[in-house]
Copies of this chain bind each other. A is one copy, B any other.
Amino acid sequence: MTPGDRTADWTPPAGLVAARAAWSRLAEPGDTVAGALVGSMGPVDALTWLEDAVTAGARRVLPVSVQDGAAARTLGRAVERWAPRLDALEPERDLDVLHRHGGTLLVPEDPRWPEGLLDLGTTAPHALWVLGRPDLGAVVDGAVALIGARACTGYGERVAADLAAGVGAQGRCVVSGGAYGIDAVAHRAALTTSGGTVAVLAGGVDRFYPVGNARLLRAVVDGSGAVVSEVPPGGVPSRSRFLQRNRVIAALAGATVVVEAAWRSGALSTAGHAARLLRPVGAVPGPVTSAASAGCHRLLRDGAAICVTDVDEVMELVRGPDADAGARSDGLLAEDGLGPAERRALDALPLRRPAGEESLVRVAGLAPGELRAALGVLELAGLAVREQGGWRRGGGA
């Protein structure tokens, strides 16, 4: 599917969007039983089933696939979990609130749904409440998640801004969590680039959180990006929702890079989600004297992340190494390819007055044949020059 296809017109079946909106309120983010039920029955039938189950008792209306004891008990507990929220359920009102904010409810059936979220399986969001560009799949294609500490340092801010601007300049979207610190810096730097930026919130998109970032998040919506959440309008950003939100960030992006993170940091949970999704994880090192880099060093030490130091290395995470192969060899000198014999011969060569082979043999500790072969190699590399029947150093080819 090309980005072009994703923007094609698509009309959702009757009731689908409202049912998905309902499920995103009934079940907490990451509820695998809701994910499995909706996945097997479809959101509309799953909702009807739930209403019947609450009326008639879950066991009476079990789907055929979960007739055995343990699964039935799991589903029974899930119904008890969802039931208390069924009474106050008003998906159309939630959708009205969203539309008043100019938003779109994106559902997995929509061609514009980001493919990366499918990797989440039964923990995939039921829907995304989107402010800004609704063609989210196209926006986050090959995106990079840049995340990190709220309490970042000036060093972290500088690196985050550089990386975000660099990723954005290559037309790639920067995904982050809209938080203070690294997140905000990354969004801000990516805002004016062609790649744009997407903020994934832990609470509803109708109330920007944190309040201090409201202007920034508004700019993201009004720019070429989006502010999204799997939680319906009015949803409170609780700690468990923050942790679950991190899996959405990891799944939306092709790779996740942690810029600064304390030893215990939410950014490490995002890195963990990315690793479980088999997405590349990068960590930016920093001074070992900085507590704000301790989490990054922990990831590097545990082998949970690859060390990244510039935008090329970040892009290599999403693109693979082929495109950049050889870029680093520019700095090599003619001397670098020398074997031990050539190296010793080179060491023995005088800088100015040429020396004879007999003397060179003694100084270099090489056999005459070895010396001659080595001098031949050095001459080709421009590192040895024949002069007055002897040899001296050259400047390199």
Contacts and interface: CB of A to CB of B under 8 A. Distances in A.
Q: How many copies does the complex hold?
A: 2
A343 B285 contact: no
Interface in A275-296: 284-289, 293-294, 296
A364 B240 CA distance: 10
A84 B217 CA distance: 77
Contacts of A241: 347
Contact of A263 (B331, B361, B370): B331
A261 to B, nearest CB: 13
Q: What range describes how many residues of A lie at the interface?
A: 35 or more
Contact of A370 (B77, B240, B309, B367): B77
A165 to B, nearest CB: 15
A308 B301 CA distance: 7
A331 B264 contact: yes
Interface stretch (A24-32, A60-68, A143-151): A24-32
A288 B288 contact: no
A40 B142 CA distance: 60
Nearest to A163: B288
A31 B366 CA distance: 10
A365 interface: yes
A362 B87 CA distance: 10
Contact of A365 (B27, B331, B362, B369): B27
A347 B238 contact: yes
A65 to B, nearest CB: 21
Interface of A: 26-28, 30-31, 77-82, 84-85, 155, 158-159, 238-241, 243, 263-264, 284-289, 293-294, 296-297, 300-301, 303, 306-310, 313, 328, 331-332, 336, 340, 343-344, 346-348, 358, 361-362, 364-370
11 contacts: A27-B365, A79-B367, A155-B287, A240-B343, A264-B336, A285-B288, A285-B293, A286-B287, A286-B288, A288-B309, A307-B307
